[in-house]
Amino acid sequence: MKREFPSARPKIFLRTCLFTTGTKGRVIENMFLRVRQGQGTYRFDFWGHTENGRLTLGSGLFVGSTGVASDHHFNPRENSGDEFLFIDGEYLIEVFATVVGRRKVQRLLDLTFTVNSLQAAELVQIPTRELYLHWNADTRSYDGHVRHHKPLDEHAIGIAVHDALADIFGPPSQNG
């Protein structure tokens, strides 16, 4: 979970291997996420995926029996009216796909994880922070940790605000 630059729109990125047991394969026409957290339910339905190493607007993805590993990028639509904020608490992300030839949308995956209050504060206050989830085999759950991402443009939205906050709330001085 992160924000895109320079728009600062929220983004959820997944790396997946999709496969089908059918011999002819299937075509995914579209994918979207439903994100549930303490403030409500949000739809991330602007989808893109990697194709030959390049990000492509999602508009069809062939999935064969040998599978296809892709990076999937999801954003809420611009002007959707719902303001998604990174808050602390439990999250449920449901991954859906529209498959050519099927009437109903298919739910592919449910993913749950927790964002603690420190992680949420960093994600909200510092636009260059990203939450990475790693599978913990012992607990059979995802553990999150926040990492700093340096955008290509040092003058991206929020950087000056972050620097000002760091000056105000930085470590206490030795003099008092």
Tell me the β-bridge partners of 43.
Answer: 34
Q: Does residue 172 have a cis bond before it (omega within 30 degrees)? A: no
Please give the residue range of the domain that contains residue 46. Answer: 2-169
In a domain, 77, yes or no: yes
Please report the pLDDT score of residue 99 as a whole number: 93
In this prediction, residue 158 has a pLDDT band, given cuts at 50, 70 and 90, of very low
Give the residue carrying structure tokens 């989830």. 133
Please compute the mean of the pLDDT values over residues 45-67 and round it to a whole number.
Answer: 85
Please report the pLDDT score of residue 6 as a whole number: 65
What is the residue type of 102? R
In a domain, 164, yes or no: yes
With beta carbons less than 8 A apart as the criterion, state whether 145 and 131 touch.
yes
Task: Provide the 8-state DSSP code for 163.
Answer: H
Of the candidates 83, 98, 129, the residue with the CA atom closest to the CA atom of residue 28 = 98
Q: Where are the alpha helices (DSSP H) in the chain?
A: 117-125, 159-169
Q: Model pTM?
A: 0.76
Give the residue carrying structure tokens 């000002």. 164
In a domain, 174, yes or no: no
pLDDT in tens, 57-100: 877 889 998 998 888 999 988 766 668 888 999 999 999 999 99
In a domain, 80, yes or no: yes
In this prediction, residue 176 has a pLDDT band, given cuts at 50, 70 and 90, of very low
Could you give the number of structural domains in the chain? 1
In a domain, 175, yes or no: no
Of the candidates 38, 35, 39, the residue with the CA atom closest to the CA atom of residue 10 = 35
In a domain, 176, yes or no: no
